[in-house]
A and B are shown apart, each in its own frame.
Chain A
Amino acid sequence: MHNDIEFRSVTKNYGAVTAVSDVDLQVPKGAFLALLGPSGCGKTTCLRMIGGFEQPTSGTVLISGREMNGIAPYRRPVNMVFQHYALFPHLNVEQNVGYGLKQMRPRIEASEIARKVALALEMVRLGGFAQRRVHELSGGQQQRVALARAIVNKPAVLLLDEPLAALDRKLRTAMQIELQTLQRELGITFVLVTHDQEEALSMADLVCVMNTGSIRQLGTPQEVYDHPTDLFVADFVGKTNRVTATLETDGRTLRLADGSALNVGERRGMTAGDAILAIRPEAIRVDRHAKPGATGFQGTVTNRIFLGSTAEYSVAVPGLGDFLITSDRRNLHESELVEPGQTVFLGFDPTTAHLFPVSSSA
């Protein structure tokens, strides 16, 4: 099986600034890839290099096995859903969606264009909107027009640049599901750029976390979340409680700032020295009292946010700082909710908590 998109040692400089640095990437056909990272991490530049709006300073971008260097956007078998949609304000919905078809050579007959446009609009559930002006549509409807305008051309790859950023939360959730469904139906490769980790994790089947121009981790959403390769990924993909510590020479004893020690089990690849223990909020159990033999910290609840099925607690642990805990209500064994001011025990399994060298957060 060949890759739909491939980056080979791609670097992009803007003057003295390096936006993308020596990136290698393979996206298998039919994948839903999310390029995830903070602003300025190079994800949008990567997308624009696939679209052809930017040319790599060095290295090669391939689409469906073809080298794309120097090939203009309008000659590439990809289509993009732009941030803020970039719909043509002087054209109606139908004309917007048919725009790409009208550019095709040999020419497509008008009736055929009309049929395909109607089909695409149907697909994004905008059947009755063909004659509408763009500015008469809501944000969500405009989003769908942008989608229809891109997919109607049957591109090999669909590029989505922060497609949901301008929508409200509820609409965003609905569109996430729609996009996933659409991707399955069309069977083409989607490349999504987002800074929203939740969006990336929920929609993509392959997440590429980027920072400062390079890829920090490429993997399934679960891999990226459960096994972040470094502290940056752990921090950016989901919330993390950090505990600064020192790994002793035996490679399994972790000395914390308050002087206590934890047995974190055998850690391969970790050398003795300063380290950071990263614990996901949901990996911590809140108990009123420490279970015999349990590992954890004693602390005082300072705040509680009730979220329905879950609750978030802030807990101050003397000598270690504040902890954030997300508690599924079923985990509250002793009673329903813990009140601020109460003393609790934060229990966790140190052998499954992440441990990173201090330098890996950059």
Chain B
Amino acid sequence: MTKKHRENLPISPDDFMHEFMRFKRGSVTRRHFLGVTGLGLATAVMARSPGAFSTAAYAAEDLGTKMSIATWPNYHDPATFENFKAATGVAVEVNVFGSNEEMLAKLQAGATGWSLFVPTNYTISTYHKLGLIDELDLSKLTNFSAATENPRFTKEGQIDGKTYAVPKNWGTTGFAVNTSKLKTPMKTWKDFFEVAQTEADHRAMVHDYQLTTIGSALVALGYGFNSIKPDELAKAEELLIKVKPHLFAINSDYQPGMRATDAWMTMCWTNDGAQLNRDIPAIAYVLGTDGGEIWTDYYAIPKDAPNKAAGYALLNYLMDPQNAVKEHIANGAPTTDSRVISLLPKEIVSNKIVYPDEAALTPLEFGAAVTLTDPGRAELMARFKSA
């Protein structure tokens, strides 16, 4: 009752600022618009004290004093970079992105200044093909343990037997539902698109991201998540355009909308699902029984990285299970390394949003490289958004 009463209060300035900061954290980091406004370049230089504690391991090579990493929003424990700076004297500048397409666009344009970045599984072959990434020198990654990595999540980092990327963590793409608002039980993407046009009219969100939005529509129609067949894409387009007038938004920045209850349902990634559910238990995370996406984010080093030594040092630092477990606890995405699992608190390992049953994962597909560069899917997305 008390809580209900509080919810009915008009907006207080405190609430506003709180919400705004939340928006800002989520969104400044999210999706492409920030890149355009300039705020996307908002970077956090994680540095407080000069690195007085250079260890012997790092002292062998000159690491310089700064490097920059391209990654995803809310994806790291800020303490990680502070500790890294304390250990090596290298300050880390963090650039956050909203889509793999955007990362690729920046690397293609050149002169990014990144010494480390976090591409998703299906993009690595393209980076390799375009000669944008280096083969990793595993001798510099003493903390990486191929033996304890789940091969399901490492294979796309290897091309022709050479390692170009090592996994950071994996995850799924499902949908989040506010069960206090929507009563229809939902299990599939078919359900998602039907409820979006009925009970959740003007309350559902889809990603501003061709891979998941088109992929989910394809799955709802019984096709493959990665299809590029023109007839199947045409059907998916038909469905998306039919749904569009009923949508609340086309935006990958869905946490603010869900938290404000503007949106009651959204396409959602594991880590956001876990965070939403932790703060608002009524928000459930559903994996489509008819399909959907499973993914792995990797670490890779750009060919034109200005400070490769520091890039390797940071990557090696992140591969240390003691550091990786802190990252896991901070961002909520499941790990690929069994050494890390053994260090995790029990409530995280038993969280079915983070570590679903194997049966729930079976229908899911990894994104396919071809979707990244297929002009048909890009054009479909543009038609959907401008319809």
Do any CB atoms of chain A lie under 8 A from CB atoms of chain B in the complex?
no
Residues of A within 8 A of B (CB): none
